[in-house]
Structure 1
Amino acid sequence: MPVIAQLLTAFICACLSLTAHGEKLRIVTEPWAPYVYEEQGKALGLDYETTAIVFQRLGIEVEWQFLPWKRCLAMLEQGQADGALDIFHSNERESSLLYPSEPLSDVEFVMFYANARPFPFRTLEDLRGLTVGTSPGYLYSQDFRESTLFKHEPAPTHEANFGKLLRGRIDLLITDRRVGQHLLDQLNIRQQITENPVVISRQSQFLAVRRNAGMDLLVQRFGAELKRFKREPAYAELSARYGAAPAMADSSAMPPGAPVKTVEQQESSAR
């Protein structure tokens, strides 16, 4: 039997099994606005709505759970969830998870500073003597994490970090561009804080599923349908609604030879 036929048979059997037991595909995720979050009991977000549309087109019902990220990863490992939304790709996860060829979105980590105390910069050297607000559960690159040029100060939430920035308890904070822009509006502080255009790093976010029977074809079909949807005006409208913007020009990136390294996230507790 040709390989594609075997995959299709496995996929159909998996779907029939779910249907027979009245089950849905169990997807877990952590609120990460504006990519995925809940508002007044309603699930929203660029990646959530994109994924929901793709699954609807594939005729697959989904059961969503919003949980702390460490719990999401534990449920995947224990077989209590079929997949996770907005997870970063890593070689370590390849043995247990399947990733579509098409990512849902791209994360760009940037710095924000208070207008009352501007600290524009282009290299890590420019941060000498400053205090940078970080997020718990994130592990940055070794050079960034171990640098003694500046102080790293964590906060329990992104909202708390922005509050500390306004009060002058930190000089800068690092977070994803869209997450930061979303919070500027949500906290009504857009006139008080500025985003530094330098992109520290970029990461792609995916929907990943556990390696079970039929899941390999599901991932292929999901990736193909996602890529198709991204070409449609409906996706452009959805993306614009959640603050999507063209990639920054090369002039905003670190100059050649600059010592800034890629920002990475901790495998055990981050995306």
Structure 2
Amino acid sequence: MHRIGIVCLALCCVLLGLGPANVQARELVIGGIPEVPVRYVDPQDGLIKGLDIDVLEHILGRLEVPYRVRLESSSARLESNWRRGKLYDMVFTYSFKEERTPYLLYAAEAHIYNNWHFFVLKENQQRFRYEQLEDLKGLRVGATEGFSYTQEFWAAVAAGIWHTDLVTQNALQMQKLLHGRIDTVPLPAMVTLYGAHQEGYAQRIAYLPKPMKSEAYYNTFVKASDYPDLPLLAQRYDEELRRMKADGSLRAIYRKHGLEEHYPF
């Protein structure tokens, strides 16, 4: 009877989600797009690395959840997949938008805070001003499919206030700016400035002082996923992320990637 009692207790713990997470039937699949330095494929060893990856490694390692990361070439493809409930159980990293909530369960805890600015060539910094979107009238403005920006930004695109250069891969935007094919493009300052310093063109670009938006960014969980007990995993994820903020391990990851000056918590 004693052995039977132990077995029943262990089974109850598993059913209630109290046992180790590695009893899950399969790997957790996390989707995203490449964006240095938060997630990217290291050309030297082919491994996916970055701030986002280290945060997930820390949390899912603590929870004993096996996982793999799948990076897509475009944000539009990524969004199409999670809207259809295909391929992913989690998705990196989004600001909160109500229209996504039928498909995605947002973590309660953010791990990134981004200021989005209109970037320009440094030589044009004094030519352009941005206090309101109408100030960009007549310019060539870059935009990427699948990015939310703001409702006002997309309304300005629809109204034809400027000439929109629309692409499917955000990585193309900086090269277009550097080669003079667009006048300005809204980009997240943290990752944009990091990339500029790493690739040696930081002295060629600048951004207009007023942010287009400032938002917290969250990892998300795909509601249509068949991964067992995903809402429970989301709760445990939040608990671990709160612990990382309290014990300094999240700040240490920012420091590792040269981003400590952007640590917002």
Where do 5+ consecutive residues of structure 1 fail to align?
1-5, 249-271
Return the match for 1:164 from 160, 176, 190: 176
Distance 1:224 1:192 in 2: 42
- Say whether residues 1:62 and 2:67 are aligned partners: yes
Distance 2:211 2:92 in 1: 24
Q: Name the TM-score, length of structure 1 as normaliser.
A: 0.75
**CA deviation map 1:205-251 (0-9, x unaligned):** 32222345422221111101111102333321322434354599xxx
Distance 2:179 2:78 in 1: 34
Q: How many residues are treated as equivalent by the alignment?
A: 240
Q: How does 1:80-95 map to 2 (within 5 A)?
A: 80-95=87-102
Deviation at 1:87? 3.3
Aligned to 2:40: 37
Deviation at 1:65? 1.4
Distance 1:53 1:84 in 2: 17
RMSD: 3.0
Helix, strand or coil: the match of 1:116? helix
Aligned to 2:31: 28
Distance 1:125 1:75 in 2: 34
Distance 1:8 1:139, change over 3 A: same
Aligned to 1:101: 108
Distance 1:244 1:95, change over 3 A: same
Distance 1:99 1:135, change over 3 A: closer
**CA deviation map 1:81-129 (0-9, x unaligned):** 2221213433344344332210221232211111222224322233233
Q: How does 1:199-218 map to 2 (within 5 A)?
A: 199-211=211-223, 213-218=228-233
Distance 1:138 1:235, change over 3 A: closer
Deviation at 1:187? 3.1
Q: Name the TM-score, length of structure 2 as normaliser.
A: 0.76
Where do 5+ consecutive residues of structure 2 fail to align?
1-11
Distance 2:253 2:93 in 1: 17
The more displaced of 48-57 and 193-202 is: 193-202
Amino acid at match of 1:154: L
Deviation at 1:17? 5.2
Amino acid at match of 2:54: E
Distance 1:10 1:73, change over 3 A: farther
Distance 2:72 2:50 in 1: 16
Distance 1:8 1:223, change over 3 A: farther
